[in-house]
């Protein structure tokens, strides 16, 4: 099998849970504004909340409500080896879903190790929203050490920043696996998040992205959604039995398995906007079990050998319809 999506599940060690508990508890008291994030570039517009972003729609072009910063940590000047990439610099290495995500670190492949600072700043507008301000996202940690600027920050003026969560190595468990990060309370600081404000995701370190360092972000949800199911595929070989699973879904309802041979995209099926291109096929529907998962074992047609298939799932239950990540598989 080639091009398989790594099946990963959130695993946070007990020490991480304890540290995170301390961190979250500390958010109840106002935090001092931080002024050491450096000269972060700011976007020229603001996106409305609710805000959901898997970076696919941007297709490697930085939209006006986003701005990236990639600088030397000492000089605070632009650094050609600092890496803040959503696909505008190069193809993303290992997105959680689709073809794009946010990559923060040093440029892949470099051996010129030195500290760089990278950031994505998103302009957000909560005018008229009035709902929950808890954000979730998928995160992958390449092996971060602690740096004072690491984490998620908010600001009203783009200069005085307040920490929502810090220290990637505490927030995320094992390295090089995609995990779910939830309960990022953007309203936990003195920043007014009822109108226009800035959200910054910041990373600093001295090794290449996903090579001892670096942080990747994908599938941002504000407010966070109740369920964020995962689809994974294994052993897709023409003429043999393969397995496709949906997990982390509601504990009642059904799992729908979707496929396309046209590629990734944003075409609809059954009123949902998928991450696939039409035509889209619902090739199986199975009930979700009490663990919130369903497992499909099916004979892969021999005629599919050598073809690329694009997969996505839908979990229908728990009061909603929840899309999984997309998976790209080259059938052996």
pLDDT digits (tens, 9 = 90+) for 244-267: 999 999 999 999 999 999 999 989
pLDDT tens figures, 85-130: 999 999 999 999 989 999 999 999 999 999 999 999 999 999 999 9
pLDDT tens figures, 213-247: 999 999 999 999 999 999 999 999 999 999 999 99
For the segment 146-159, the average pLDDT, to the nearest whole number, is 94
The pLDDT score that the predictor gives to residue 149 is: 94
Residue 92 CB partners (closer than 8 Å, separation 6+): 85, 86, 99, 100, 101, 103
| Closest listed residue to residue 231, CA positions, set 169, 149, 316, 293 | 293
pLDDT band with cut points at 50, 70 and 90 for residue 36: confident
pLDDT tens figures, 271-317: 899 999 999 999 999 999 999 999 999 999 999 999 999 999 999 99
Task: State in words which class domain 230-330 has.
Answer: mainly beta
The pLDDT score that the predictor gives to residue 32 is: 57
Domain positions in the chain are 14-222, 230-330
| Contact criterion met (CB below 8 Å) for 210 and 108 | yes
Query: CA 35 to CA 161: how far, in whole Å?
Result: 7
Query: CA 109 to CA 244: how far, in whole Å?
Result: 33
Tokens 């996202």 appear where?
137
For the segment 151-168, the average pLDDT, to the nearest whole number, is 95
Tokens 């890496």 appear where?
83
Instruction: Report the b/e string of 83-122 with b at 16+ CB within 10 A.
Output: bbbbbeeeebbebbbbbbbbbbbbbbebeeeeebbbbbbb
Q: What is the CATH number of domain 14-222?
A: 2.60.120.200
The pLDDT score that the predictor gives to residue 298 is: 94
The pTM (predicted TM-score) of the whole model is 0.83
| Contact criterion met (CB below 8 Å) for 312 and 258 | yes
Residue 3 pLDDT exceeds 60: no
Query: CA 44 to CA 21: how far, in whole Å?
Result: 35
Burial of residue 164 (number of CB atoms within 10 Å: 0-12, 13-18, 19+) = buried
Residue 46 pLDDT exceeds 60: yes
Q: Which residues face 135 on adjacent strands?
A: 184
């Amino acid at each position: 099998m080639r091009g398989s999506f790594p099946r990963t599940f959130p695993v946070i060690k007990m020490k991480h849970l304890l540290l995170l508990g301390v961190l979250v508890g500390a958010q109840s008291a106002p935090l001092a504004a931080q002024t050491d994030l450096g000269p972060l570039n700011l976007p020229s517009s603001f996106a409305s909340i609710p805000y959901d972003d898997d970076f696919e729609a941007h297709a490697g072009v930085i939209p006006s409500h986003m701005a990236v910063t990639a600088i030397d940590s000492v000089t605070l000047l632009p650094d050609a080896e600092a890496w803040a990439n959503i696909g505008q610099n190069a193809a993303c290495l290992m997105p959680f879903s689709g073809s794009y995500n946010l990559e923060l670190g040093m440029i892949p492949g470099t051996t010129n190790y030195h500290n760089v600072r990278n950031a994505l700043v998103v302009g957000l507008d909560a005018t008229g929203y009035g709902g929950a301000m808890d954000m979730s996202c998928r995160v992958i940690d390449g092996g971060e050490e602690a740096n004072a600027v690491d984490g998620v920050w908010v600001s009203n003026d783009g200069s005085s920043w307040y920490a929502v969560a810090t220290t990637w190595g505490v927030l995320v468990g094992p390295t090089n696996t995609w995990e779910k990060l939830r309960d990022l309370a953007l309203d936990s600081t003195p920043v007014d998040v009822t109108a226009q404000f800035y959200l910054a995701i910041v990373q600093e370190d001295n090794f290449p992205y996903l090579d001892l360092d670096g942080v990747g972000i994908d599938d941002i949800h504000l407010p966070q959604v109740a369920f964020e199911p995962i689809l994974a595929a294994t052993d897709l070989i023409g003429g043999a039995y393969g397995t496709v699973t949906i997990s982390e879904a509601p504990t009642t309802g059904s799992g729908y398995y979707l496929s396309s041979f046209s590629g990734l995209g944003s075409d609809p099926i059954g009123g949902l906007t998928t991450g696939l291109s039409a035509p889209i096929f619902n090739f199986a529907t199975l009930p979700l079990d009490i663990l919130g998962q369903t497992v499909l074992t099916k004979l892969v047609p021999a005629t599919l050998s050598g073809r690329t298939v694009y997969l996505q799932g839908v979990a229908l239950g728990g009061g909603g319809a929840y899309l999984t990540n997309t998976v790209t598989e080259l059938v052996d």
